[in-house]
Amino acid sequence: MGKVVIVGSINVDMVFTSKVRPKAGETVLGEEFSIIPGGKGANQAVAASKLGAESYMIGCVGNDSNGEFSINNLTNMNVSTDCIDSTNEATTGVANIVVAENDNSIIVIAGSNYKITKNTIDKYKDVILSADIVLLQLEIPIDIVEYTAEICKKNNVDVLLNPAPAIELKKSLIENVTYITPNEHELKIILGKHDNIDEIIRKYPNKLIVTMGAKGVKYFDGIDMKLIPSYNVEVVDTTGAGDTFCGGLAAALVRGDNIEDAIKFANKAAALSITKLGAQSGMPTLEQLL
């Protein structure tokens, strides 16, 4: 088991399932409602844990029932919660998720996720530096992402950055991380480019790993452009697919897989995740992939 340390968001997801997505000003009758644990950071921590890694979560929740619910869930998922702080200054982050027409739409309220500070990172620096890989996303303040990546770079700790929700990234952040996993839409935003996708990927060999849904996953190995094909599965809920991919990729890399095998493993895990409802509950276990 390798060690994955996740610095990121912890949310509670409120999921509305409907056959159709309401248009502006429209009300529709839905089918189901559920409250489930979420947040890209927490989701990826659970995915890494389920897929065989030793998983540690660094984050912040509110002193409220949602925070207690989130910590209990992570503990039950074998994710270490010793580095999760709580605050009275904000409520635990929440996400409103509408699942309809084989896709999802999400509104996120950051809440306590934006109470993570540089002092938080300094407090848990020893844990971060003990990682085989550090997993970051963009649902916490960008300066905290940049600060964490800089510390890891200086100490030769690998970093996997999932740039979502996407913003244009500083050149220094791109240089400080080992792997970046955008989808096609996020790719052009984070780099501020509008080139051909293959041309962009070629500029970052073995760093840019671009997920393209049903079209598969692309990266450049320094010699050849690689396309890892997707799996044809019945789509139930795509909510956790990207997080499953990132957690699975981290878990495979820290156990020693090469980059191609790690991507294949993560791609299979992500495919299985969309056959079930719920981000974390739909994530497969290592046993289900072997």
For the chain, the distance separating the N- and C-terminal CA atoms, rounded to the nearest angstrom, is 16
> Which residues 6+ apart lie within 8 Å of 233 measured at CB?
271, 272, 274, 275
- Does the annotation mark 257 as catalytic? no
Give Dmax over CA atoms of the chain in angstroms: 53
C-alpha–C-alpha distance, residues 44 and 56, integer Å = 10
| CB-count exposure of residue 119 (10 Å: 0-12, 13-18, 19+) | exposed
Q: What is the CA radius of gyration of the chain?
A: 18
Structure tokens at 1: 């088991």
Q: Which of 13, 64, 132, 243 is catalytic?
A: 243
| 3 state DSSP class of 65 | helix
Where does 130-235 have alpha helices with state H? 142-154, 171-176, 184-191, 197-202
Q: Which residue has the tokens 């997801």?
A: 13
Contact between 59 and 46 (Cβ < 8 Å): no
Residues acting as catalytic residues: 243
